[in-house]
Amino acid sequence: MSVQIDEGVVMEVPFVDATPQNLEDYGVMITETVHRPGLSIPFYKGSVEEGQNLDFEYTGKAVIRTARISHRSPEITWLERHLNMTQIFVGLGTAPFAMVLGKPNQHSGQNVPRLEDVCAFRVPAGQGVMIHAGTWHDFPMAIVDPVTVLTMNSDEVVHALAHAKSADEMDAGDVYKIDIRRRTGRILKVPF
């Protein structure tokens, strides 16, 4: 079900500092704080604080890789979601990066994001996010300086994206990717 919106209307996406609290509807923030501490492993007691596993989900084979991102156009052309994966993005180095995220809405049968729920989060340098299954997202964006991002993904998703014949909408290999302007009549822009 899609909502008719006037063609060509520019919508500035809110840009906020990511915190564990404001990210919780979209995913889990990965910070220098140990995730759910208290895992009982008897080695190195007193010098290692063990955390519980992150609930990273995927189908097939897990893929861990890096990508170098540079500043690009502030217009958000694509948003995608994965229903069988909780993708992870962690910034390496000293520069923050941005994640444009929309809340999961697959359980209500929607095939486009609720634009009111789309937000750009400034993720501090050395931190990251594990998005919930179904969270709408764009690939991470450099805010000013280039950033290398560590990504944890599934081979199924990487294969589908790498074998796309052109930059167009797709629904293959747990990748549902849409052109925002084509689907909603809105132009989404980040304010940087």
Query: pTM of the entire structure?
Result: 0.91
The predicted structure's pLDDT at residue 61: 96
* Residue 143 resides in a domain: yes
Q: How confident is the model at residue 2 (pLDDT cuts 50, 70, 90)?
A: very low
* Residue 53 resides in a domain: yes
Kindly report the CATH number assigned to the domain that includes residue 183: 2.60.120.480
* Residue 144 resides in a domain: yes
* Residue 1 resides in a domain: no
DSSP code string of the chain: ------TTEEEEPPEEE--HHHHTTTEEEE-SSPSSB-----TTTTT---BPPP----SS-EEEEEEEE----SEE-EEEE-SS---EEEEESS--EEEEEE---GGGT-SS--GGG-EEEEEPTT-EEEEPTT-EE---EESSS-EEEEEEEEHHHHHHHHT-SSSS-EEETTEEEEEHHHHHSEEEE---
* Residue 104 resides in a domain: yes
The predicted structure's pLDDT at residue 42: 86
Mean pLDDT of the region 14-20: 97
Least confident piece of the model among 7-11, 108-112, 170-174, 176-180: 7-11
Q: How many domains does the structure of the chain reveal?
A: 1
Res. 5: pLDDT tops 80: no
pLDDT in tens, 83-100: 999 999 999 999 999 999
The predicted structure's pLDDT at residue 8: 57
Res. 3: pLDDT tops 80: no
Q: Which domain holds residue 143?
A: 9-189
* Residue 3 resides in a domain: no
Joined together, the tokens standing for residue 88 give 């992870």
Res. 66: pLDDT tops 90: yes
Res. 1: pLDDT tops 60: no
Q: How confident is the model at residue 6 (pLDDT cuts 50, 70, 90)?
A: low
* Residue 2 resides in a domain: no
Residue 174 zone, left/alpha/beta (φ > 0; ψ -120 to 50; rest): left
147-154/62-69 β-pairing? antiparallel
* Residue 150 resides in a domain: yes
The predicted structure's pLDDT at residue 29: 97
pLDDT in tens, 127-149: 999 999 999 999 999 999 999 99
